[in-house]
Amino acid sequence: MSAAMTGAVIVVAGGTVVTSDGPVRADLVLRDGRIAAIMADASEVEAQERVDAAGLVVVPGGVDAHTHFREPDPRQVEGFDYGSRGALAGGITTAIEMPQADPTSVNAEIVRQKKALIEEKSRIDIALWGGVIGQPRADIEGMLAEGVVSLKAFIPASSPSFPNIDDATMLDTFELIAGSDVPFGLHCENDALLRAGLDRLQASGRKDALAHAESRPPLVEVEAIHRAIFFAELTGGRLYVCHVAAADGLQLIKEARARDVWVEAETCPQYLLLDLGDLEAQGVWARCAPAFRSRGEVERIWEYIIDGTVDVVSSDHCAYTVEDKLAGADDIWKAPLGCSGVQTMYPGLLDEMVNHRGLPIDKFVELSATNPARIFGLYPRKGVIQVGSDADLVFYDLERSWTVRGEQLLHKNKWTPFEGKEIGASVVRVLVRGVTQFDAAADDPLTGHAGTGNFLPRGYGATA
């Protein structure tokens, strides 16, 4: 049994700790899976375990608000065990899992099954989204009663197992959650414009990777974001716009906030660190929705990172097999939509923000941990280093570079759109509720085991 589970004291010493007040040289005292004290010097504290963080930056564990580990799934394409392995290696201690699986989470019974699988298989803590497909209100209310932290729907057609919603269902859902703090997450692309773009490019005979991006330009996103904001403003419901990849869409969100519309924005690493050149080079590995954007669009999105319009950076991790993706090798339309990202996202983002753009590390912590924990009701148990919070800690070496190779990643399917990229920040150690679950220096860096993760219900943060 670990020290964290026996009431013993653990001291994390010598690191630069990023608290809500900024980075400071401090020692952390951990007990019973939580942070018991933050001290200038804990050398005189009697401890059963001391963890050396000298020369490292210690930040709150990443909260990935958008994962697709897909469990249950008869194919076991990924699952909570393998997905959480990659997450740990990428500095993620909490994930919020999307409804897609087999079956899709659209009622209370399916959510209960998923909760049990988290407790059985995950190595990190996981909260859940509930899917909205036009089912009876009672089914949505049942999922909320089971503890889902948010609701999710598609404006464009997605898949037979997760049909998209019409405007009437969107309005009804916003009316249902009005007066609560439950976010309604929307995949915002205009279905008619998207279909027209696909038909036009496919009719022309284009099968190359760039045809994918041309079929769904930023306008397709922007119109749907505009419509979602309209319904949120009309009802007072809380809107969470998933994976925004259009700068004009972020401008709409910024303007809506100025009118006191309750709306938050998420983007993903592929829209901040990669561009159309990477789509052309990586082909099937880079096909996702929304599509990769031009370098000019990427730089515009960074402006909204800096001014605070973007609240969250999440992975949108999709765990397709190599065979699934390679089906589109000669015809991009046959490759499924989605990128892997849990292991590369936060090291890559931290490197870009701090080492290359000179942004404060506090901003990285906001985007990767504090903001998602606040939005989804997990704060302050998650997302912050303060007394009483869960001892979810990630140690980074900001001077240790590594080259991304798919075969070395710890999630199940060994491919990545970041293949060959050099990242100048490395995850050294990860603690989940005070227990070391990842240690890069160990022969086997995964020092824990499946089943140590917890299901996190809506309102978990209020138990601090």
From its phi and psi, is residue 348 left (phi > 0), alpha (psi between -120 and 50) or beta?
A: alpha
Quick check: 61 and 93 in contact, CB under 8 A? yes
The pLDDT of residue 164: 98
Instruction: Give the count of beta carbons closer than 10 Å to the beta carbon of residue 388.
Output: 12
Question: Residue 31 pairs with which residues in a beta bridge?
Answer: 9, 34
pLDDT at 448 over 70: yes
The pLDDT of residue 81: 98
285-335 confidence digits (pLDDT tens): 999 999 999 999 999 999 999 999 999 999 999 989 999 999 999 999 999
Cα pseudo-dihedral 449, 450, 452, 453, rounded to 10: 130
d(CA 186, CA 140): 15
The pLDDT of residue 456: 98
Could you tell me where the beta strands, DSSP code E, fall in 245-330? 263-267, 312-313, 317-318
Q: Tell me the mean pLDDT in the region 224-250.
A: 98
55-93 confidence digits (pLDDT tens): 999 999 999 999 999 999 999 999 999 999 999 999 999
13-61 confidence digits (pLDDT tens): 999 999 999 999 999 999 999 999 999 999 999 999 999 999 999 999 9
- CA 96 to centroid of chain Cα atoms: 7
Question: Which pLDDT band holds residue 359 (cuts at 50, 70, 90)?
Answer: very high
Pairing type for strands 317-318 and 62-68 reads parallel
Q: Report residue 27: phi and psi, to 5°.
A: -105, 150
More confident residue, 8 or 37: 37
Global model pTM greater than 0.95: yes
Residue type at 265 in one-letter notation = A
d(CA 7, CA 32): 5
d(CA 255, CA 265): 12
Quick check: 181 and 377 in contact, CB under 8 A? yes
244-293 confidence digits (pLDDT tens): 999 999 999 999 999 999 999 999 999 999 999 999 999 999 999 999 99
The pLDDT of residue 160: 87
First to last CA, the chain: 24
Q: Looking at residue 173, what DSSP letter applies?
A: H
Quick check: 213 and 293 in contact, CB under 8 A? yes
Quick check: 382 and 84 in contact, CB under 8 A? no
Judge if the upstream peptide bond of residue 72 is cis by omega within 30 degrees of 0.
Answer: yes
The pLDDT of residue 449: 96
Q: Tell me the mean pLDDT in the region 359-376.
A: 98
Domains of the chain and any CATH numbers: 3-58+391-450 (2.30.40.10), 62-375 (3.20.20.140)
Judged by DSSP in three states, 22 sits in: strand
Judged by DSSP in three states, 33 sits in: coil
Q: Tell me the mean pLDDT in the region 202-206.
A: 98
Judge if the upstream peptide bond of residue 99 is cis by omega within 30 degrees of 0.
Answer: no
Percent of the chain with pLDDT over 70: 98
From its phi and psi, is residue 2 left (phi > 0), alpha (psi between -120 and 50) or beta?
A: beta
Q: What is the SS3 assignment for 95-133? A: EEECCCCCCCCCCHHHHHHHHHHHHHHCCCEEEEEEECC
Q: Looking at residue 353, what DSSP letter applies?
A: I
Tokens 């704060």 -> residue: 379
Tokens of 366: 């906001």
d(CA 421, CA 352): 12
Question: Angle between the 295-306 and 247-258 helix axes, to the nearest 10 degrees?
Answer: 20
User: Which of 457, 381, 463 shows the shortest CA–CA distance to 182?
Assistant: 457
The pLDDT of residue 158: 85
d(CA 406, CA 416): 6
159-199 confidence digits (pLDDT tens): 888 999 999 999 999 999 999 999 999 999 999 999 999 99
How high is the mean pLDDT of the chain? 97
User: Which of 262, 241, 357, 392 shows the shortest CA–CA distance to 310?
Assistant: 241
pLDDT at 4 over 90: no
The pLDDT of residue 1: 41
Quick check: 20 and 369 in contact, CB under 8 A? no
Residues near 199 by beta carbon (within 8 Å), at least 6 away in sequence? none
107-153 confidence digits (pLDDT tens): 999 999 999 999 999 999 999 999 999 999 999 999 999 999 999 99
383-434 confidence digits (pLDDT tens): 999 999 999 999 999 999 999 999 999 999 999 999 999 999 999 999 999 9
Q: Tell me the mean pLDDT in the region 349-368.
A: 98
Tokens 């998420």 -> residue: 266
Quick check: 86 and 43 in contact, CB under 8 A? no
pLDDT at 351 over 50: yes
The pLDDT of residue 6: 65
Quick check: 118 and 453 in contact, CB under 8 A? yes
